[in-house]
Chains A and B, each alone.
Chain A
Amino acid sequence: MEKRGFEELMGRLEEIVGKLESGDLPLEESLDLFEEGVGIFKLCTKRLEGAQVRVQRLVKDLKGEFYLTPLEGENGL
């Protein structure tokens, strides 16, 4: 699973588009960038499509340790 966050992915994609459009790269390198860009594009699109917001509850126990527990759906609130 891709660990990079949206911020990083979008940043990289913007960078790739900029590099490609600057026009002074050899074709081979451009293609490599293009393929990477398409990969990121695909990944981001997928994340946008499949995502569903996750809600967790922060719990601190008596010893001061933190836990995250899932918060039930709308009815549980």
Chain B
Amino acid sequence: MESSKEVENQPIYSVSQINREIRLILEENLPILWVEGEISNWLHHPSGHCYFSLKDKDSQLRCVLWRDQARDLSFTPEDGMKVLVNGQITVYERGGQYQLNCFRLKPAGVGELGLAFERLKRRLEREGLFDPQHRLPLPPFPERIGVVTSPSGAAIRDIIKVVGKRSPWAQIVLAPVLVQGPGAAEQIAQAIRDFNLLGGVDLLIVGRGGGSIEDLWAFNEEEVARAIFSSQLPIISAVGHEIDFTISDFVADARAPTPSAAAELATRDQGELRGKLESWGERMARRMTGMVEEIGRRLDRISQSYGFRRPADLLAQFVQRNDELERRLMQAMQHLLELRGSKLSGLKARLRSLGPPAILQRGYSICRKLPDKEVVRRASQLTPGGGIEVIFSVGRIAGKVETVEEGNGKERI
């Protein structure tokens, strides 16, 4: 106290000096400590700093929470809330007041967290954030799934496992975030906004594996709730275990009890798709076979009606057309058969029965000009003395043409 005057050998302090002295005594003698109390006169100043008092039944303690620490709050403090505060006692020299300089604030006990949860839930509910009308439908066949969770947690491993099993064609895009502790809520909300900005995924799974209510707290934060609400991409919320409900669950388009369940909800099972494909393949094949059979029956009717007058090559044309259709059908069926194995081989046999061998079986024969084996459709293709062969259902004969009557195509069979 060099600059102090002395009165009767007692030092005289200036106000600043004594305040500084008190400050040194307090700061040097009181370590960083935890204080439990109830918040009163909470003031979130526009500067970002927060001022409040902690009180209990009998006493009050002034507190200040600076902007940088206020940003990391994992909940919204309100008057009347019981909290645990970590900080250091210091003196605000200008005001001559001692105060607790806060580093961390957390709700005191599960009861208080539950209260904070209920308060936020009520407020957001009143605002309409939970209204079912805002819920987006989940896409039926998602092929790119965005996941907002920790890259090292069990959640992402579970999701990859389930998606790999059910929809192995799908792609997973992970936005790695902190899922607990300071900054977690901010990162989760930002990742949701990033996915919306980036696009390219069909839906989002937002969540984490189980933990204490404190561990899950980021998913009870207003910022996360608002990011989910504003998302244009459908979101499945999957936080913790079956019994854990978070604010995220209420705002999301769908809630899954666990990350695995979310992956299940998001994907289509390949077995289900296979079944559908099989059934459709079968229905197509049955329908086509039916059509070809119908044509075969028409051919039969035409050929069997005695009084029917027709050009001589009508039948041949039908046969040829039938052959052409059958060839294409067989080709297409071949693909199906390769994939479906023996299940459809019965159909294949039935298709065969509609081909030329079956028609020969019914008593028709094919006449071919020799030596070039050209199928004869008109008598005028032949000349007397030329070679011909006639193919029957069983066996064939060869010979020479004796006479040719060209005809006019109106002959009766």
**Main secondary structure on chain A at its contact with chain B?**
helix
- Of the candidates B160, B295, B331, the one having the most CB atoms from chain A within 10 angstroms of its own CB is B160
Report the minimum CB–CB distance from B267 to chain A (whole Å).
Answer: 10
Identify which of residues 150-189 in chain B touch chain A, using a CB-to-CB cut-off of 8 Å.
151-152, 156-157, 160, 163-164, 167-176
- Of the candidates B172, B195, B333, the one having the most CB atoms from chain A within 10 angstroms of its own CB is B172
Quick one: which of A27, A37, A41, A51 contacts B291, CB cutoff 8 A? A27
Identify which of residues 31-77 in chain A touch chain B, using a CB-to-CB cut-off of 8 Å.
31, 34-35, 37-39, 41-42, 44-45, 47-48, 51-58, 60, 66, 68, 71, 74, 77
Report the minimum CB–CB distance from B293 to chain A (whole Å).
Answer: 12
Q: CB distance B171 to A56 under 8 Å?
A: yes
Q: CB distance A47 to B169 under 8 Å?
A: yes
Q: CB distance B152 to A77 under 8 Å?
A: yes
Report how many residues on chain A are interfacial, defined by Cβ distance under 8 Å: 39
Q: CB distance A48 to B273 under 8 Å?
A: yes
**A57 partner residues in chain B, CB cutoff 8 A:** 151, 173-176
Q: CB distance B143 to A5 under 8 Å?
A: yes
Q: CB distance B173 to A56 under 8 Å?
A: yes
Q: Please tell me if B5 contacts chain A, counting CB pairs below 8 Å.
A: no
Q: CB distance B174 to A55 under 8 Å?
A: yes
Report the minimum CB–CB distance from A13 to chain B (whole Å).
Answer: 6
Report the minimum CB–CB distance from A7 to chain B (whole Å).
Answer: 4
Residues of A within 8 A of B (CB): 5-7, 10, 13-14, 16-17, 20-21, 23, 27, 30-31, 34-35, 37-39, 41-42, 44-45, 47-48, 51-58, 60, 66, 68, 71, 74, 77
Residues of B within 8 A of A (CB): 139-141, 143, 146, 151-152, 156-157, 160, 163-164, 167-176, 191, 194-195, 197-198, 270, 273-274, 276-277, 280-281, 283-284, 287-288, 291, 295, 325, 328-329, 331-333, 335-336, 339
